[in-house]
């Protein structure tokens, strides 16, 4: 975690100096918050590695949650392992009560809640129609002041540590409870959630068979706050490359007008993913207008036509979920339906779909 206490080690000798230091610290925090990188306001839980579980209670206020049918349909639960604890929501439609077709974990962006993200993406409607369950982890303000997943923290980019270990463990527990086939566990996210989804695809390819990244960043794009800001702006030097060993199928959505996370970041995710399938892939590129937006689509498939990598570049889309419901934040109703296309991509190998 990152703490920014301007002048924190210097003695304060008067009211003017104290006010100056306070103003400087506030400026740093506002700048970080604008980019979803503010440091935690509560006591962070310890990371795994020393045999300690993160069990501290978060007492900070949570952002208000939208009411409505989506919130009512999801059940609230808590997951804990040696890496820490997170609350989550789970939606189990009637078709998935006995045995679910699959599991899609959805990682919200900064300032969002699981309910807000569920409304904006409408993923639960697809789950109900197709018989898979959705899991919506919650990042609270005790672990990041803007409720962002800590994709820029080195401790949260590793297997068996931090947020990746918590989220992978959560997915495995839910999958076991509803008898989800091991090859049908997927993860998707928006912005910081997309960056964390990519990390999960790299560190837990044995758990997640495919990744959906909307307006996100590539694996290990940053190691601290300054490099995170540079990565988001598209000016950072390349970070640690993905190992290439994790054969995780990946679909990427990114808007041409995204000013929060520059589109070059989506391209880098695709380049890393493409490098995994050097000897298996066939490439195609298409362009069409979908719901009023020009969309360029780059696809990589294997000899059987199975989708391995896709890159959807959407003209005119900003930092928002394409084809989303405007009742949720960071959702744009125009353009291709990212949720439906991700589900199609995830279950592309499912014989029941006729693919």
In this predicted model, what pLDDT tens digit does every residue of 199-246 receive, in sequence order?
A: 999 999 999 999 999 999 999 999 998 999 999 998 876 655 555 566
CA-to-CA distance for 35 and 28, rounded, in angstroms?
11
State the pLDDT at residue 154: 95
pTM of the full structure: 0.81
Q: Reply yes or no on whether the pLDDT at 68 is more than 80.
A: no
Q: Which residues of 214-238 are buried (b: 16+ CB within 10 A; e: fewer)?
A: bbbbbbbbbeebebbbebbeeebee
Q: Give the least confident one: 20-29, 260-269, 307-316, 338-347.
A: 20-29
Q: How confident is the model at residue 277 (pLDDT cuts 50, 70, 90)?
A: confident
Closest CA to 138 of 194, 222, 185, 77: 77
Q: Which residues pair with 287 in a beta bridge?
A: 296
Looking at mean pLDDT, say which of 61-70, 143-152, 234-243 comes out highest: 143-152
- Written as six digits, the tokens of 93 are 């439609």
Chain segment 82-136, per-residue pLDDT in tens: 999 999 999 999 989 888 999 999 999 999 999 999 999 999 999 999 999 999 9
With a pLDDT cut of 70, the percent of the chain lying above it is 75
Sequence ranges of the domains in the chain:
69-353
Q: Which residues contact 210 (CB under 8 A, 6 or more apart)?
A: 186, 187, 201, 248, 249, 250, 251, 345, 346
What fold, for 69-353?
Rossmann fold (3.40.50)
Contact partners, residue 194, CB within 8 Å, separation at least 6: 107, 109, 188, 212, 213, 214, 215, 216, 217
Token code pair at residue 115: 């309910």
Pairwise pLDDT comparison (69 vs 184), residue with the higher score: 184
Can you tell me whether residue 188 is helix, strand or coil?
strand
């Amino acid at each position: 975690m990152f703490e920014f206490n301007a002048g924190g080690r210097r003695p304060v000798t008067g009211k003017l100096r104290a006010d100056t230091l306070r103003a400087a610290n506030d400026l740093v925090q506002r700048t970080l918050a604008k980019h979803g990188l503010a440091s935690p306001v509560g006591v962070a839980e310890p990371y795994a590695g020393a045999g300690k579980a993160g069990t501290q209670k978060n007492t900070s206020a949570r952002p208000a949650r939208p009411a409505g049918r989506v919130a009512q349909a999801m059940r609230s639960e808590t997951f804990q392992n040696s890496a820490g604890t997170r609350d989550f929501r789970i939606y189990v439609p009637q078709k998935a009560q006995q045995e679910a077709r699959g599991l899609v974990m959805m990682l919200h962006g900064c300032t969002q809640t699981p309910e807000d993200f569920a409304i904006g993406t409408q993923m639960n409607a697809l789950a109900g129609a197709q018989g898979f369950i959705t899991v919506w982890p919650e990042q609270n303000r005790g672990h990041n002041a803007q409720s962002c997943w800590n994709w820029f923290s080195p401790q949260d980019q590793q297997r068996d540590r931090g947020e990746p270990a918590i989220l992978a463990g959560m997915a495995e527990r839910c999958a076991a409870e509803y008898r989800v086939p091991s090859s049908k566990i997927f993860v998707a996210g928006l912005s910081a959630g997309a960056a964390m989804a990519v990390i999960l695809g790299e560190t837990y390819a044995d758990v997640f068979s495919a990744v959906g990244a909307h307006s996100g960043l590539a694996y290990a794009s940053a190691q601290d706050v300054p490099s995170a800001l540079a990565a988001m702006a598209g000016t950072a030097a390349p970070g640690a490359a993905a190992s290439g060993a994790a054969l995780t199928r990946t679909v990427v959505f990114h808007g041409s007008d995204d000013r929060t996370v520059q589109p070059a970041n989506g391209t880098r995710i695709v380049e890393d993913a493409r490098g995994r399938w050097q000897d298996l892939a066939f490439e195609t590129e298409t362009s069409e207008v979908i719901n009023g937006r020009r969309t360029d689509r780059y696809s990589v498939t294997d000899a059987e036509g199975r989708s391995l990598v896709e890159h959807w570049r959407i003209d005119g889309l900003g930092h928002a979920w394409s084809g989303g419901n405007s009742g949720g934040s960071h959702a744009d109703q125009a353009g291709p339906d990212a949720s439906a296309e991700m589900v199609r991509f995830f279950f592309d190998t499912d014989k029941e779909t006729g693919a």
